[in-house]
Amino acid sequence: MSVYIHLNMNEMPYLPPENVVRAAQKGLLNLNRYTEQKDLEHLKSLLADYSGVPEEHIVLSAGSDLLLREIVHSFSGGRKIVMVSPSFLPTVQAAKQFATKLISIRLSPPEFVLKPELLLDEVKEPALVIIDNPNNPTGKILLERQTVEAVLDNKNTFFVIDEAYFEFSGVTFTDLVSDHPNLAITRTMDKAFSLAGARIGYLVAGKDFLDVFSSFYAFLPQSSLHAAVEALNCTEYVRKNVRLISEEREILQKKIEDLGTSVSSSSTNFLLIKTEIPDVSARLRNIGVLVSDVSSQLAPGSIRISVGTREENDAFINGYSKILEEAYE
């Protein structure tokens, strides 16, 4: 099978508008040049306006995963790392590499709720807390404002919230950054902006993080920079993307439930399902549908499915239905 339906990377199935594509193409005209500082500052200004924070709190990067790795590397010395399990796998891998002590607070199915008292108990000593909100791969919102503020009251704690799916959840804590130097929030334009191929990530950082990131400098590719600037000048398409995906997500969830399979509600562009079919991700791959096997962090048979177009989602449902039939014949 050489042509696959990609429901494994949480990408948007829709291209950005033509004006954003043209802006990326315009960047190719300067492919032999590094991006200029003034253009990077312009992008930072647009991201600051979009995030509702002063420009000096924005740090640019070629992907938010790089920012998370840099934070783990820079802030893990002399303090434990506290995360939830399951969590965004690249961050987990970085934590395992650099942490002298790693605490994973288990999110128990089927609700996958983070109990605030467990988190607050872990920040009584120096800690670096990293929580994805909404969580990947469960799709659940884990944090409430009261909990976030209680964690931040511990001055020996650095708190990082990964808001990669903010546009879908509508939940953000960026307004707390100016008053809390020990808070940082990672975001990306990969998802709702349909710019996964451009790799634009950014950090909304409190002063403690800015001090460390003062020498962190990202020469973004020309095409990525131009596409991001144009995208931020016409964000109405992002709202359309979110609306379309949210509608398809609810339809897809209903169809999965109708097949008798457990599926978690989600505040993102993906769904987590639990099936009793062994090797289900491999079986789906054999019929041309790629999904993410997350059973290494959860129970066997746990897969994460990105919400695609109606045709892509139906292809998954049709393929999965056949696999169910074969398994129970």
Mean pLDDT of 53-59: 97
- State the pLDDT at residue 149: 98
- State the pLDDT at residue 3: 84
Mean pLDDT of 235-241: 98
Top-tier CATH class for 18-232: alpha beta
Q: Identify the burial level of 84 via C-beta atoms within 10 angstroms of its C-beta, where 0-12 means exposed, 13-18 middle and 19 or more buried.
A: buried
pLDDT digits (tens, 9 = 90+) for 304-324: 999 999 999 999 999 999 999
Q: Which helix (H) or strand (E) holds 185?
A: strand 183-188
Beta bridge partners of 81: 102, 128
pLDDT digits (tens, 9 = 90+) for 30-40: 999 999 999 99
Distance CA 270, CA 8 (A): 9
Beta bridge partners of 186: 162, 203
DSSP 210-257: HHHGGG------HHHHHHHHHHHT-THHHHHHHHHHHHHHHHHHHHHH
Specify whether the CB–CB gap between 130 and 95 falls below 8 A.
Answer: yes
pLDDT digits (tens, 9 = 90+) for 260-274: 999 999 999 999 999
pLDDT digits (tens, 9 = 90+) for 78-106: 899 999 999 999 999 999 999 989 999 99
Distance CA 290, CA 11 (A): 12
The answer to whether residue 151 scores a pLDDT higher than 50 is yes
The residue extents of the domains of the chain are 5-13+237-327, 18-232
pLDDT digits (tens, 9 = 90+) for 12-21: 999 999 999 9
- Which one-letter amino acid corresponds to residue 229? V
Q: Residue 158, Cα to own-chain centre: how many angstroms?
A: 19
Average predicted confidence (pLDDT) for the chain: 96
- State the pLDDT at residue 1: 47
Q: pLDDT category, 217, cuts 50, 70, 90?
A: confident
- State the pLDDT at residue 2: 61
Fold entry, domain 5-13+237-327 = Aspartate Aminotransferase, domain 1 (3.90.1150)
